Amino acid sequence: METVAALAKVSRATASRVVNGSTSVSPDIRDAVLDAVGVLNYVPNRVARGLVTHQMDSFALVLTESAGRIFVEDPFFATVVHGVVQELDAAGKELVLQVVSSPQSRERITNYAIGGHVDGVLVVSVDGADELPMTLAGKNVPVVVNGRPMGRSAVPYVDVANADGARQAVRRLVDSGHRRIATIAGPQNAPGAVDRLAGYRAELRDSRRRPIVAVGNCTEESGSSAMRRLLDEHPRLDAVFVASDLMAHGAVRALRMSGRRVPDDVAVIGFDDTEVARYTDPPLTTVRLPILDIGRTMARQVLRLAGGEPVERSILLGTEFVVRESTC
């Protein structure tokens, strides 16, 4: 900066104001400084600026899942990241992607955030009992979480109307005349999966039907295994509501291998409306989540928190029912 100022024949303070976007400088002086910046190929040092302003202009997105699921198996995560990147990029901020894969990486990420290397943290966690968000918030790090936490928490979160979406899906099956409607639920340490199972049970209770429940872990293989168990125990079931499209894809495969036709013998409804729903054979009827908006909303919230603005403790986004060929 001293060299830029000397070449432009201005003070260091004036050069700094121009580089930092101040409008309180005359056009001639601004042009002289910017010309010097161009000649010298000057690039501001973000870390040095952060030491002065206490703002790093970067945010950490922490994914508390296995790398295989994040990057290979489940497109949900990639879409959330896309939404976060869109919003941070529009605000001129940088994204630091962190994956929690071990206790050591959890400790490293915690120390990184508490050490002031980022202005805030977005946590995408399947486990609603994860203590990381509360730990960071307790150290005055701005934090926003995807999905409601289990129990009480003061950390702001962005979630979707999981129970309402599940009820809508099951109601469609009931209205279509199905009598033996099973579900393949997600892991019950995940609040979203808990809410989807609750919605399924509530709709069956209202329609005087008996719940038939198996639990998977949101992978395709777990959906196949759960479907085989359901068929063994309830061979006359005629519909299944599945708590994720990946598990539904596996369930359809298991139904086909058992000789059942979808939807003629067994109707199937998934949840999420990720890309897998469109290439399942037949294409899945499903409950669409606004996954991109989840990421974008989380980013907007953490930007407000980092700027000292108040935010809503919880934001609930709606779902949409999408009819394809796996239901009649």
Q: State pLDDT tens for residues 285-319.
A: 999 999 999 999 999 999 999 999 999 999 999 99
DSSP 83-106: HHHHHHHHTT-EEEEEE--SHHHH
192 or 24, which is more confident?
192
Whether 2-44 shares its CATH topology with 58-160+291-317 is answered: no
CATH number for the domain formed by residue range(s) 162-289: 3.40.50.2300
Mean pLDDT across the stretch 14-31? 84
DSSP 17-33: HHHTT-S-S-HHHHHHH
Whose CA is closest to 115, among 139, 93, 151, 92?
Answer: 139
Mean pLDDT across the stretch 31-39? 88
| Cα atoms found within 13 Å of the Cα of residue 67, Cβ hemisphere only | 7
Classify residue 284 by its DSSP letter.
P
Burial class (CB in 10 A: 0-12, 13-18, 19+), 9: exposed
CATH number for the domain formed by residue range(s) 58-160+291-317: 3.40.50.2300
Domain 2-44 superfamily per CATH: lambda repressor-like DNA-binding domains (1.10.260.40)
Domain residues of the chain, as ranges? 2-44, 58-160+291-317, 162-289
For residue 185, what pLDDT band results from cuts at 50, 70 and 90?
very high
Q: Tokens 């579900």 map to which residue? A: 183
CA 145 to mean position of chain CA atoms: 9
DSSP 136-153: HHHTT--EEEESPPSS--
Q: Residue 38: how many CB atoms within 10 A of its CB?
A: 9
Pairing of strands 181-185, 314-317: unpaired
* pTM listed for this prediction: 0.81
